[in-house]
Amino acid sequence: MQRHILKNKKRITLISAILIIAAYTSHYAFHYEPVAKWALLIASIIGVAPIAIQAFQALRVKVVSIDVLVTIAVIGALIIGNFEESAIVTFLFLFGDFLEQRTLNKTRSAIRELTEMAPESALKQMADGSYQEVEIDEVDIGDVLRVLTGAKVPVDGIVLTGEGHVNEASITGEPIPAAKAPGAQVFAGTILDNGTLHIEAQRVGEDTTFGRIIELVEEAQDAKSEAERFIDRFAKWYTPAVLALGFIVWLISQNIELAITILVLGCPGALVIGVPVSNVAGIGNGARHGVLLKGSEVIHDFSRVDTMIFDKTGTLTQGKPVVSEVKLYTQDTGKTRSYLASVEAESDHPLARAIVEYLDEKTLYPVASTDVVKGGGIVATVDGKRVAVGNAALMSQEGVHLSDEAQADIARFELEGNSLVLTSVDGQLQALVGIRDQIRPGVKDDLARLKKMGVKNLVLLSGDNQGTVDLVAKELGLTEAHGNMLPEDKAAYLKDMQNKGHIVAFVGDGVNDSPSLALAQIGIAMGSGTDVAIETSDVVLMNSDFSRLPHALGLTKATASNMRQNIIIAVGVVLVLLASVFFSTWMNMSIGMLVHEGSILVVILNGMRLLRYKPRV
């Protein structure tokens, strides 16, 4: 019976509203009091039922909740025959609860959207080699699955056979489909745009990257901040205090209606709902914009950050070396480019891949007698010529003379932060290639926005050489820059900043920077939702888009401010209402409850503003 009543709270609220309208219509339009009286009495009884059940359930676990206050007040109003007051109070309380639940459901829509994107079935290879569609729960690690064009990838896995392009926007936020071939990683919840893939399941169900994203958002919205814990403690003592105040007023004044009015007006409903609404709305906004905030405690700390420390590679830079400049010292540039591309095509070194991608040569020569010189490069025979590709030390070893022009170019390339690849043909220097990691587009503007938001210290810590680090810091306008930093050096620097009283956020790629991500008050991971990023950090920029960082900081500041506003509104309304009971003649239970429920609506609407938040700078 109790469950049935609570399940139909919305219907009860609607019926109460209809009965109250009928009562007022009978009273003012037809002047027929019996119908008005009975309509208000029935509205009071059915309206107080779910409230009384919730009060009873709270008392069973030794909690004196707001429902207890309202139940006692309504029963008291019924005893003294004030059916109008009791009916209106129950309706307004139920309507306020309806608004609260609707708001919370709306702010949790980010979770529902993510959940709806999760795959529900998969084509699984059976023992006889055929493929059958099974529920996603029936897929185990090691199973072979077939993914057809237009279908969702059901699990995290490795491509065994087939090629295609996968839309990974749900994981990385990148709109351009990623090419997949045997050996490539695929993620659950992504969509195969074209082709057919056969994959081996590596992580299934809640263990997939997509599953962890959903779990993270759910945990974040359920987590309580220090402000919410304070309000819980406050409500635990506040409610009995209001009961005691009402009892004392009754003892002194012998005015039961006044005592009941105090119980109604003292309900701190707006205070209890105000902070959670702000918290859930803020986290919901972040989830929609690819920013996962792990709870409202993170919001509180992040909003006060005054120092941000950045890793370089993969954070401020794209994490992928590309050719920045090429200098040729020969007239036959076509053959030199072909020789260089032919040799580098034999290597899987990141610098070699960058050169091959940049040159994009159609004519490649067979490469013979390849000799890999450790720490130097490659020496090979190409088109009957001895071709050496590597650093300056390899050129010296090969007896290659470096002209004044070449030495000046080398010095300039190094000063600009390039890694150098030199090419000689039969002992003659033919080419100099400069390769460096490129700064993410728009990062300079994003850092300027962070400064405007109150981040005083922007610090770069990198394992790269100091010269390169200084160049990046100068280009981006950072406060400090330190190179040759090992992970333990970064952690030590971070501790020192904390000891000086700074609130520090560390932004890294979530892999080699995990000690600093865990140590900082706020760890912010780039990395497209990798395991380390999700588990170690407090904030995850799921699409590795640096421009989301100012949005995240601005959102936490707005959310923290919104929480404070709601607390002030809620406490202020209760104080005004209680003062009005003693110092005015116009205040009564119905007016007080209307103002009280109005304050709940105000804090809810104020919190919902966060759903539409966008940074101003």
Bigger pLDDT: 45 vs 227: 45
In this prediction, residue 169 carries a pLDDT of 57
Give yes or no for residue 294 having a pLDDT over 60.
yes
Helix (H) or strand (E) holding 469: helix 466-476
Q: Do the domain assignments include residue 342?
A: yes
CA distance 444 to 478: 9
Query: To the nearest 10°, the Cα dihedral for 448, 449, 450, 456?
Result: 50
Tell me the residue range of the domain where 357 lies.
319-438
Q: Do the domain assignments include residue 466?
A: no
Confidence label for 402 from pLDDT (cuts 50, 70 and 90): very high
Give yes or no for residue 5 having a pLDDT over 70.
yes
In this prediction, residue 95 carries a pLDDT of 77
Confidence label for 337 from pLDDT (cuts 50, 70 and 90): very high
CA distance 68 to 235: 12
Give yes or no for residue 413 having a pLDDT over 50.
yes
Pull the structure tokens for residue 163.
């090629």
Q: Are 233 and 192 in contact (CB under 8 A)?
A: no
What are the DSSP calls for 155-202, one per residue? SEEEEEE--EEEE-HHHH---SPEEE-TT-EE-TT-EEEEE-EEEEEE
**What are the angstrom distances between the C-alpha of 546 and each of 302, 540, 551?**
16, 11, 10
In this prediction, residue 266 carries a pLDDT of 72
Q: Do the domain assignments include residue 216?
A: no
59-86 pLDDT per residue, tens: 787 766 667 777 877 787 787 777 877 7
552-597 pLDDT per residue, tens: 999 999 999 998 898 898 888 888 888 887 777 777 767 776 787 7
Among residues 67, 97, 143, 311, which one is catalytic?
A: 311
Q: Do the domain assignments include residue 168?
A: no
In this prediction, residue 588 carries a pLDDT of 73
Q: Are 418 and 434 in contact (CB under 8 A)?
A: yes
CA distance 389 to 432: 10
Residue type, 384: G
Give yes or no for residue 111 having a pLDDT over 90.
no
Confidence label for 536 from pLDDT (cuts 50, 70 and 90): low
Q: Are 180 and 165 in contact (CB under 8 A)?
A: yes
Give yes or no for residue 406 having a pLDDT over 70.
yes
Q: Do the domain assignments include residue 346?
A: yes
219-274 pLDDT per residue, tens: 544 554 555 566 566 666 777 777 788 888 888 888 877 787 777 677 666 676 67
For 489-492, which contacts have Cβ atoms below 8 Å and span 24 or more sequence positions? 489/461, 490/309, 490/311, 490/461, 490/515, 490/516, 491/515, 491/516, 491/519
Per-residue pLDDT, averaged over 509-515, amounts to 61
Per-residue pLDDT, averaged over 344-370, amounts to 86
Residue 257 makes CB contacts below 8 A (sequence gap 6+) with 77, 80, 82, 589
Q: Do the domain assignments include residue 345?
A: yes
CATH code, 353: 3.40.1110.10
Q: Do the domain assignments include residue 405?
A: yes
The share of the chain scoring above pLDDT 90, in percent, equals 30
The mean predicted confidence, pLDDT, of the chain is 82
123-181 pLDDT per residue, tens: 999 999 999 999 988 999 999 999 998 888 999 899 999 988 887 755 543 445 677 88
Closest to 301 measured CA to CA, from 504, 439, 149: 504
How many other CB atoms are found less than 10 A from the CB of residue 140? 11
Quick check: is 311 catalytic? Answer: yes
The share of the chain scoring above pLDDT 70, in percent, equals 84
CA distance 461 to 459: 7
In this prediction, residue 456 carries a pLDDT of 94
Give yes or no for residue 216 having a pLDDT over 60.
no
CA distance 304 to 323: 40
Bigger pLDDT: 396 vs 438: 396
Confidence label for 463 from pLDDT (cuts 50, 70 and 90): confident
Closest to 194 measured CA to CA, from 177, 182, 173, 170: 177
How many other CB atoms are found less than 10 A from the CB of residue 333? 13
442-462 pLDDT per residue, tens: 999 999 999 999 999 999 998
Q: Are 543 and 524 in contact (CB under 8 A)?
A: no
Q: Do the domain assignments include residue 355?
A: yes
Bigger pLDDT: 285 vs 4: 285
Structural domains counted in the chain:
1
**Where do we find the tokens 């005004």?**
576
